[in-house]
Structure 1
Amino acid sequence: MTVETKIQTFQNYIGGQWTQAASEDVKACMNPAHQHEVVGYIQNSLAEDVDHAIEAAHKAKKSWRKLAGAARGDYLYKIAAAIEARHEEIAQTMTREMGKTLPEARGETSRGIAILKYYAGEGMRKTGDVIPASDSKALQYTNRVPLGVVGLITPWNFPVAIPLWKMAPALIYGNTVVIKPAHDASVTAAKLIECVEQAGLPAGVVNLVTGSGSVVGQRIIDHPEINGITFTGSNQTGKRVAQGAVARDAKYQLEMGGKNPIIIADDADLDEAVEATLSGGLRSTGQKCTATSRVIVQEGVYEAFKSKLISRTKALTVGDGMKEDTWMGPSVNEAQLNTVLSYIDQGKAEGATLLLGGGKPSDPELQDGFFVEPTIFEDVNPNMTIGQEEIFGPVLALMKVDTIEDALEVANHVAFGLSASIFTKNIENAFEFVEDIEAGLVRVNFETAGVELQAPFGGMKGSSSGSREQGTAAIEFYTSIKTVYVKP
C-alpha cells in the first residue's frame, strides 16, 4: 500500500527549531527511478547555518551529559517508537529518494529501530572499571566521558541505518550531535529528525543541517567546537576528514570503500554460493561498501558456477523499487550511473570478457530512470581497473584460480580490506581463510554484505580508520577514558 505523501520543503533542525537556511535557497531531491519526480526540497545551507547548529549543540552538551544513562536511553526508546509508528512512510520515502527496493527499505527501517533499542539498553551498562591502587587506602577507577559535540557525515546508501548507528551511540554516551546527510538521502534524514523532535529530546541535542559537502561538511570538519567526526563515504573525502581533524586535534572515525571478494572453493554448495553472490553483489544495485565485487572461483567448479550464476542473474527483475516484484532498483543518480557505465567500458577496453549486461536496460518503461543492467565479466586480471577499484554498482568480476592459496593471494591484492567471504565445506579451507584474509568482516558460507548491529564493524587497510562502529565497540570512539585516584 502506497502512503499518500505531498511534496514538502524541509528546513534545518537547529536548537529544537525547524529553521530556514541563511541562503534562503532550497534544492530538490529527485526519484532516481523517475528522474523528473520531486520527492521533496531541502535547505542549501551555508557555513553560518552549521555554526548555529554547533552553537546549539555546544549549549546543550553539559545538561545532556549530566542525565543518567537510563534517562538518555528512555529518549532513544521514544525515537524508536516514533519511527515505528511511521515505518511504512519512512521506508517508502527511502525507496523513492535513493532507489533501493521497498522490501530492502522496510528491512533497513526495522533495523534502525533495533539499533535505537539496542543502544537505549547501553544506558544501563557499566562505563568504567575499578583498578587496584598501590595504596591500600586509595580508590582507583576509570570512567568513560563523552567527547562533547560530534559531527555525523552520513552517506545516501543506508539513509536510515547509518545515521542511526552513528547517532544512537553518540547520544547514549552523552554527546550532542550535528548531522549532515548526503543530498540523495536528505528527505529521509529529515523524517528521522521529525521522529527525534516527536520524542521530545532537549533543544540542541540533535541538529540537522543539509547542503553540499564542500560547504556544510567542510565546516563540520574545520569547526573548533566539533570534538569528534564520524564519517562514512568515499576514500577521497575520508582523507579530507582525517586531515582536517588531525590539524586541530579532533577525534575522527572513517568507514570508506571496499573491493570485497567471495571465494568459491571446489567443494562449495554452488547453489548457495550463487545466491550469496547475487545478494551480496547486486542487491541495492551494488551500492554497499560491503558489496561483493570480485568472485574468485576454483577451476574445478568454475564453469558450473558461472553457468548457474548467469542463469540466475538473467531471471532478476530490474525496475522501480516501489513495485513489489522488482529485485533491483536504479543507481542513486545520473552521476553514479555514469560512473558504473564508465567502469564497464574500462573493463571491456582492458580485455575482460563481458558475459552479461553491460549497459542500460532496453525496456521503454525504464528510460526515465538511472537503471543499469546486472553485469558479469570474466577473464578479469586482478590488476585490471575493475579488479582493483570500487565500482559501487551491480558489476561482478569473475576470476579463476587453482588453489585456495591462490584465491587468498588474489583476494588480498587490493588497497581495501572491508569484507570477505568464502564458500566451502572444508574446515581447513575455512580456517586458513579466516587466518589469512585481510579484512575486518570475515564470513564463512555467508554473503559479503550484511552487518550485525551488536557486533563491531569496520575494515582494514584503505577501508577504515581502524575505529570500529556498532556493538559495544562504539564506546571507544564516542568517549574518552578518565582515570580517577581518590584517597581519603
Structure 2
Amino acid sequence: ETLSNAPRRTQDRRSETGDHDQVANGWQHFQNEPDTDWALPHHAEWAQHIVSRWENRQVQVPLVVDGQELFEGRPTRPCLDPSRPGVDVGDYRQATAEDIDNAVDAAARDEDGWRSLTYLQRQQVLQGVAKEIRLARADLMGAALANAGKTLAESDAEVSEAVDFVEFYADTACSFAALPGLIAQGKGVMVVVSPWNFPIAIPCGGIAAGLAAGNTVILKPASDAVLPAWELCQCFWRGGISRKTLQFLPCAGSAEGSQLVQHRQVDGVILTGGTETAQAMLKAKPDLPLVAETGGKNATIVTALADRDLAIKNVLHSAFSHAGQKCSATSLLLLEAEVYDDPEFKRALVEAAESLAVGSAWDLSSKVGPLIRPPAGDLATALLTLEPGESWALIPRKVDGNEQLWTPGIKWGVQPGSFTHLTEFFGPMLGVMRYQKLHEAIALVNQTGYGLTSGLESLDDREQAEWQAGVRAGNLYINRSTVGAIVLRQPFGGMGKSAIGPGLKAGGPNYVAQFMNFTANEPIATPTAIPDSVFSDLLTALHDSHEMTHEDQQRLAAACNNFQRVWTEEFAIVHDHFLLIGQDNQRRYLPVAALRIRVDPSDTAFDLFARVAAARIAGCRITVTTPPGFTSAPLERLHEVTEHWAGGIEFIDESDAELCDAIHRHATDRVRYAAPERVPLDVRRAAATRHVFIADAPVLADGRIELLWYVQEQSLSFDYHRFGNLGVRANEKRAPLKPALGEPPSVPSSAPTTPDQEPQRTDE
C-alpha cells in the first residue's frame, strides 16, 4: 500500500470557513472545537497579523438596549491596555439607571419571541452563532489582547471553549426538553455578570446557557474587559440572535450594576467573580436566584513519590499562566518533607520559574503577561511582604517599569493559618508549605474553605485514592496542571466558598437545567413492581392508606421507579465521555452529605414522600425538619415506615430561627423545600452567608431533574501515562484515534487518542 506524502496537519486559520463536521445528534456525541495548531509556521504569520490589526485600533463601544445602539448622553469610559499603561484602545458607554429599567423591560417583553421558539429552533440559531464565533476567532483574540492583556495562546483556547459552550448547551437544552411527561421552558430574564480574566469564554458560556435554556439575556461585562465582550456579542447578533433578545449593558457595578441584578423582573443571575461580590448580591436581595462561580485558593500537593520534574512543570503552568489570574490557578504548593528539604528540587523550581518569559502580551514570545491592573489590596501585600517564618525563594519584580507587569514570586516556609495560606491573590505568587503526612496536607488544603480546583503529584495509587477521598474541591487533577478545563471533558465548578448554587458544573450536561423551569404535563407510567426493597416497603406501607389519594400513591410509585432507574443509568455511574489513552476524565455525582428536608404545612403528601425517596436513593443523611408543634397524617406515617432506616433519617421540630442557626453552624449542607414561596427570607439570608443552597424547585416525579437537587458534581482528570507508557492499563479499551488537526476524518487508524494529540487548553 502506498503511503501518502501529503501533509496530515492542514489546519489554516487564515482561511477559516466557520463550518465544522459535527452532526447534531445529541450531546453524548459532542466533539470539542480544536485549538490552533501553533506548530504550523503559517499560524505564526496569522498571529502577527492579529497583533498588527489590533495594535493601533480604536473601537467605540455603545450600549445595546431594546435593539438600539446608544452612544449619546451616557458616561464614557476608556478601554485600557494592561500591556501599555496609559494607552486606550477604545471607549465604551456606561448604562444609566433609565437604561437598566428599559433593558430589563425589553427582556421581559421578549418582543422578538425568543422564548416562544421551540428548543430545536433555538438550537438551529445557536449553530449559526457558533459559526460566527469561529469566523471571528482572530478579532476575539485581538480584542482580548488589547483590552485584557491576554497572550494569543491563552485567548485562542477561550475562543474554542466559546464555540463549545454554544453548541453543547444547545444540545443539552434539547435533551432536557425532550424528557417525557415534562414541559420545559426558560425562567424569563437572565443577567450574565462576567469577569475580566476570561473575557471571551465565560461571558459566552453564560449567554449561551441562558439563551439555550429559553431565556432572554442581558450581559453586564467586566468594566476592565468590555471590548472582547462587545466583539463576542456581535457574533451572537450576526448569528441570528436579536438585539432585543441579547442586550449589552456595561455599567458601574456599585450603582447601576446593583440595580440590574436586584431588579424585580430579573429571574436569574449568572456570576463569575469574587466571593465578596456574590455575597453582596445576596445580602441586597436574599431571594436572588444566583448561580455563581466565585474564588479559589487552589493547592497542589507534591509527595515524595511524585515525578519531581513533571511536578515542577505542572505547578508552574498552574501557578503562572495568565500571570496567575485564573480562578483555577495554583497559589499554594504543599511539599512532603523529603521534597521540601531537597535543595535540588527547590533550585529546579526556582530556576524554572525564572526562565518564564515575562513581558507585554503584544510580544508573541511572552509566556507571562500583564496584570489587569496594578497590584492592590491582598495581591500587593503578597508581592511586597513576608510573614513570620516565610522567606523569598524567588522575589517578584516589576518589569520595564510597568506597574502591571511582574515576574513570578515564590514564598518558602508558609505557615498554617497564615495570610498566604488562606488568602486568594489572583496574581503571580506561589506559597510553599511543608508537611509530614498526606492527611495533614489534605487538611491544610481543606482549611482554606474554598474548593475550586486541587492537584496531586504522586505516582502511588494508594496516595491517589486517599487524596481523592479526602480533598474537598470541584475539579481534581492528578499528575497534570490544575488549569485547562474543557467542555464535557472536565466540567468546571467548585465547592464551599468557591460556588453558589446547586453544584451543576459549567460545561457539563446538567448546567442548563438550573436556568429552566419544569412542570409535569402527564403522569409517568406506573410500574408493576418496585425493584428497590426500601421503596417497596415504603409503597406497601402506604398502599390503600388514608394519608395519600390513590392518584398520589400511583404518582409516588412511578416516581420511585423512575428515581431508581435514573439513578442506576446516570447518577450512580462514573462517566468518562472521551476515554482518551493515557488520561482519565471522570465526571461523578457526590451525595449531599447533610440534607434538611423542610416541611411546610402546605406541602402535599407527594411533596413529602418523593423528597425523602430521592434523598434516600442519593445516599444523603436526611433530616426531616418541621415547624414546632406541626403534625400531619403523612408525616406520622413517614415516621412509621422509616423506623428501620436507623441513622439514615432523623426527625426534628425546628423553628425558622433554629433552622437559620443550624445553617450558621454548618449543621446542614443543603435545604430542600417543595416550592420557592415557602422559603422565609430569613432562611435565605442565613443560607447566603454560609453558601448553603436552598433547593426550592417544585417536586417532580422525574428523577433526571429531581435527583439533581440531592447531589453535587465532581470532575477528576488524571494523566495516568508515563511518557506514553501505559503500564498495567495498556490493554484497556479506549477511544479510537482522531485524525490529526485538519485531516479528513475518513482516514483510517487503529490507535486511540492521546491527550497530547490536541493543544492543551489554558482556559478556566
TM-score, normalization by structure 2 = 0.59
Question: What residue identity is the alignment partner of 2:59?
Answer: Q
- The 10-residue stretch of structure 1 (312-321 or 107-116) with the greater mean CA deviation from structure 2: 107-116
Q: Would you say 1:474 and 2:514 are equivalent positions?
A: no
Question: What residue identity is the alignment partner of 2:516?
Answer: T
| Other-structure match for 1:19 | 70
**Per-residue deviation at 1:61?**
7.2
After superposition, where does 1:435-446 map in structure 2 within 5 Å? 435-446=469-480
Q: 2:380 aligns with which of 332, 336, 341?
A: 341
**Residues paired across the two proteins, number:** 468
Q: Answer whether contact 1:456 1:473 (CA < 8 A) is retained.
A: no
Distance in structure 1 (CA, Å) of the matches to 2:447 and 2:174: 44
Distance in structure 2 (CA, Å) of the matches to 1:71 and 1:260: 41
| Other-structure match for 1:378 | 412
Distance in structure 2 (CA, Å) of the matches to 1:307 and 1:429: 26
| Other-structure match for 2:195 | 155
**Per-residue deviation at 1:10?**
0.5
Q: Give the match's secondary structure for 2:85.
A: strand
Q: Structure 1: which 4+ aligned runs deviate by more than 3 Å?
A: 336-339
> Could you list the runs of 5+ residues in structure 1 that have no partner in the other structure?
131-140
Distance in structure 2 (CA, Å) of the matches to 1:145 and 1:250: 19
Q: Would you say 1:4 and 2:53 are equivalent positions?
A: yes
Q: Which has the higher contact order (CA 8 A, sep 6+)?
A: 1
Distance in structure 2 (CA, Å) of the matches to 1:61 and 1:236: 36
After superposition, the C-alpha distances for 1:348-385 in whole angstroms (9 at most, x for unaligned) are 14441111123313xxxx22451112000111002110
| 327 and 486 in structure 1: CA distance in 2 versus 1, 3 angstrom threshold | closer
| 203 and 359 in structure 1: CA distance in 2 versus 1, 3 angstrom threshold | closer
Q: 1:189 aligns with which of 220, 229, 233?
A: 229
- The 10-residue stretch of structure 1 (56-65 or 222-231) with the greater mean CA deviation from structure 2: 56-65
| Other-structure match for 2:643 | none
Q: Answer whether contact 1:259 1:418 (CA < 8 A) is retained.
A: yes
Distance in structure 1 (CA, Å) of the matches to 2:303 and 2:113: 56
Q: 2:455 aligns with which of 399, 413, 421?
A: 421
Q: Answer whether contact 2:79 2:88 (CA < 8 A) is retained.
A: yes
After superposition, where does 1:265-280 map in structure 2 within 5 Å? 265-280=303-318
| Other-structure match for 1:34 | 84
Distance in structure 1 (CA, Å) of the matches to 2:52 and 2:103: 32
| Other-structure match for 1:87 | 137
Question: What residue identity is the alignment partner of 1:256?
Answer: T
Q: Would you say 1:358 and 2:396 are equivalent positions?
A: yes
**Per-residue deviation at 1:3?**
4.4
Distance in structure 2 (CA, Å) of the matches to 1:143 and 1:406: 49
Q: Would you say 1:431 and 2:465 are equivalent positions?
A: yes
Q: Give the match's secondary structure for 2:405.
A: coil
Q: Answer whether contact 2:81 2:87 (CA < 8 A) is retained.
A: yes
| Other-structure match for 1:45 | 95
Q: Answer whether contact 2:299 2:331 (CA < 8 A) is retained.
A: yes
Q: Answer whether contact 2:173 2:513 (CA < 8 A) is retained.
A: no
After superposition, the C-alpha distances for 1:83-137 in whole angstroms (9 at most, x for unaligned) are 222211210210121112121112212221222122233354242644xxxxxxx
Q: Give the match's secondary structure for 1:34.
A: coil
| Other-structure match for 1:410 | 444
| Other-structure match for 1:100 | 150
| 61 and 408 in structure 1: CA distance in 2 versus 1, 3 angstrom threshold | farther
Q: 2:240 aligns with which of 200, 205, 209?
A: 200
| 196 and 353 in structure 1: CA distance in 2 versus 1, 3 angstrom threshold | same
Question: What residue identity is the alignment partner of 1:4?
Answer: R
Distance in structure 2 (CA, Å) of the matches to 1:143 and 1:428: 47
Of all paired residues, the percent bearing the same amino acid is 26
Distance in structure 2 (CA, Å) of the matches to 1:82 and 1:245: 37
Q: Answer whether contact 1:72 1:123 (CA < 8 A) is retained.
A: no
Q: Answer whether contact 2:78 2:88 (CA < 8 A) is retained.
A: yes
| 338 and 413 in structure 1: CA distance in 2 versus 1, 3 angstrom threshold | closer
Q: Give the match's secondary structure for 1:4.
A: helix
Q: Give the match's secondary structure for 1:370.
A: strand
Q: Answer whether contact 1:13 1:208 (CA < 8 A) is retained.
A: yes
After superposition, where does 1:457-472 map in structure 2 within 5 Å? 457-467=492-502, 468=504, 469-472=506-509
Q: Answer whether contact 1:310 1:356 (CA < 8 A) is retained.
A: yes
Q: Answer whether contact 2:83 2:362 (CA < 8 A) is retained.
A: no
| Other-structure match for 2:425 | 391
- The 10-residue stretch of structure 1 (148-157 or 467-476) with the greater mean CA deviation from structure 2: 467-476
Q: Would you say 1:313 and 2:313 are equivalent positions?
A: no
Distance in structure 1 (CA, Å) of the matches to 2:405 and 2:421: 23
After superposition, the C-alpha distances for 1:411-451 in whole angstroms (9 at most, x for unaligned) are 11112111101011111111111111011111111222222
After superposition, where does 1:185-334 map in structure 2 within 5 Å? 185-246=225-286, 249-302=287-340, 303=342, 304-334=344-374
Distance in structure 2 (CA, Å) of the matches to 1:61 and 1:376: 55
Distance in structure 2 (CA, Å) of the matches to 1:108 and 1:322: 17
Distance in structure 2 (CA, Å) of the matches to 1:250 and 1:408: 34
RMSD over equivalenced CA pairs, Å: 1.9
Q: Answer whether contact 1:61 1:175 (CA < 8 A) is retained.
A: no
Distance in structure 2 (CA, Å) of the matches to 1:341 and 1:244: 29
Q: Answer whether contact 2:323 2:427 (CA < 8 A) is retained.
A: yes
Distance in structure 2 (CA, Å) of the matches to 1:106 and 1:25: 32
**Per-residue deviation at 1:396?**
0.5
> Could you list the runs of 5+ residues in structure 2 that have no partner in the other structure?
1-47, 525-764
Q: Answer whether contact 2:176 2:184 (CA < 8 A) is retained.
A: no
Question: What residue identity is the alignment partner of 1:471?
Answer: G
Distance in structure 2 (CA, Å) of the matches to 1:148 and 1:251: 12
Q: Answer whether contact 1:456 1:474 (CA < 8 A) is retained.
A: no
Which has the greater radius of gyration? 2
Distance in structure 2 (CA, Å) of the matches to 1:369 and 1:77: 42
Q: Answer whether contact 1:14 1:52 (CA < 8 A) is retained.
A: yes
**Per-residue deviation at 1:40?**
1.2
| Other-structure match for 1:137 | none
**Per-residue deviation at 1:340?**
2.2
**Per-residue deviation at 1:194?**
1.4
**Per-residue deviation at 1:275?**
1.0
Q: Give the match's secondary structure for 1:290.
A: coil
Question: What residue identity is the alignment partner of 1:463?
Answer: S
Distance in structure 2 (CA, Å) of the matches to 1:115 and 1:344: 35
